Amino acid sequence: MELISTLVKKTIPNYLSGLPIPDTFGGWFKLGFKDWVSLVPPTALTAGLVYVSYLALCPASPCRSGARSNKRVNQKVRLNEAKVVDMIDIEDISEKAAFCRCWKSKNWPYCDGTHGEHNKECNDNVGPVVVSRKQK
């Protein structure tokens, strides 16, 4: 514990106080090559900490979206179309029909249960839209 105390109370402040940080804006233009080189490690450390914080805390960061780098929801159904639209006549539905919402069904637009694997893999809870005839 004493090592950490010394590091935080003495070593780091002494290191930071020895950095050639100018008092004025114009002072940055007067720094020499060695001064700029001595500013690289703390700048790289700060940038690294900011980046790691971004990855950990930002909801839209690549780490939060899993292994997929592609942000598309639809990864396989009629990708060549600008918008996937299916028209289904309600009269064609016998008792009920389950429609896919995960975009992974091999029987698009109907659900084939593929979302179950997706839910386990991504800790998600997506399921189908079930449309049924009103009972008379």
Largest interatomic CA distance in the chain: 86
Q: Which of 94, 136, 102 is nearest to 118 (CA)?
A: 102
CA atoms of 41 and 111, how far apart (whole Å): 54
CA atoms of 92 and 109, how far apart (whole Å): 14
Q: Which of 34, 71, 83, 120 is catalytic?
A: 83
The answer to whether residue 96 is catalytic is no
Burial class of 102 by CB neighbour count within 10 A (0 to 12, 13 to 18, 19+): buried
Q: Which residues are catalytic?
A: 83
